Amino acid sequence: MKTRLLILALLPWIVAGYTGTEKGSGRHFIAHRGATMRCTLSGENSREAIRFAARAGFDCIETDVRYTCDSVLVAVHDANLARTFTYNDGRPVPGEIAVSDVSHAQLRDNFVLKATRPEYRTRALTLEEFCTECHRCGLRIFIEPKKVTPDWVCREMIAIADRVFGRGGYVITSNNDANDHIRFEMGITDIPLMGILYQSSYEHISSLGGVVMAISTTRFEKEDYFANVLRAKADGLETESHADDFEHFDMVNSAGIDYVSTDLLAPDYRGQGETLYLSKGGDAAKIASESAAAAKKIEFGAIYLDMKWYGSATVTLSSQTFVLPEAKSLRHARHQLMVFDAVPAFEITAPSEDFRIKDISLRIVRF
């Protein structure tokens, strides 16, 4: 009852736009399957995706585990090859070709990962190769075995991760069946786990011990999302959420999430890369003009917006356009996106009659 009253008391404060993750906070950003920007910048779960993530300032990375027909664990997300692979000559792969139907040699020799630039269309990595590269780049790894895998997969996955990172130097995350297998059937209690809340109950995940609570910004209504976050924090659990757009990143910021997983967001700016533009003053039109001239086209970088405002307006930030929530009192929000092979655009349009900027900062960085 006390927890429920606390949640109800704090919800208006959270939804109003408190940003609990100011610069210098200890939160972590997880490059989801590496920094790939959805198979454009680099191939999913590739060596390049790991290195781009490290360059951008991510301190964590997530990968997936599948197995070939000759029992080699590989860093591949989908059960089949169609979405993320092509043949060596660029031909699409039929949807019926499963990872588990090909040998490791066939996967390595006949297929390449999709990416915009030919030089980044590289081979799939084994799990051990992926872990070794992450360790070399200083990235903490979240490893996700896919649902309904043979028992040997968890044993081999843990053995590989132990060799590379040492016991407890990585996190296993799953649709909770692998977590249960590790805790209850294998009897392992010293490996951190991440449990996905919408796929299991809060009570079950928290009972595993040593868990990060993954709370989806899309599977829960806002009130339930914030209630789950507050409950986890009250129980001393770390939290994780995925965000790629302004609306869901605003929820993550307001909730004070510990681990932010993303395909498109830039990690918090902590001095990484080369700053090409940093705004001065609060004239949005001037900032838009200056930033486009200063940054020009960037192969790989990021754009960071931090703003306080009244009213509402439409904002274009790099590849995304979004509407600022109507604010009768001062509202604060941030957005930050990776940029690939583009001019990092910024523009504010369609302001409401009462729209007013109290403070604004725009930074463009080349990694």
Beta bridge partners, 361, equal 306
CA distances from 54 to 105, 144, 150, 301 (A): 28, 20, 32, 12
Residue 179 in contact with residue 208, Cβ under 8 Å? Answer: yes
Please list the pLDDT of the chain residue by residue as tens digits (367 residues): 554 555 555 555 454 444 444 444 689 999 999 999 999 999 999 999 999 999 999 999 999 999 999 999 999 999 999 999 999 999 999 999 999 999 999 999 999 999 999 999 999 999 999 999 999 999 999 999 988 789 999 999 999 999 999 999 999 998 778 999 999 999 999 999 999 999 999 999 999 999 999 999 999 999 999 999 999 999 999 999 999 999 999 999 999 999 999 999 999 999 999 999 999 999 999 999 999 999 899 999 999 999 999 999 999 999 999 999 999 999 999 999 999 999 999 999 999 999 999 999 999 999 9
How do residues 159-191 score in pLDDT, each as one tens digit? Answer: 999 999 999 999 999 877 899 999 999 999 999
How do residues 25-78 score in pLDDT, each as one tens digit? Answer: 689 999 999 999 999 999 999 999 999 999 999 999 999 999 999 999 999 999
Domains along the chain with CATH numbers? 2-262 (3.20.20.190), 274-366 (2.60.120)
CA-to-CA distance for 154 and 43, rounded, in angstroms? 25
Core vs surface per residue 158-186: b (16+ CB within 10 A) or e: bebbeebbeeeebbbbbbbebbbbbbeee
pTM above threshold 0.85: yes
- E-assigned strands of the chain? 28-32, 60-67, 73-74, 85-87, 111-113, 140-145, 171-174, 193-196, 211-214, 238-242, 259-262, 274-278, 298-311, 314-317, 320-323, 327-342, 346-349, 356-366
- The angle formed by the CA atoms of residues 273, 276 and 277, to the nearest 5 degrees, is 125
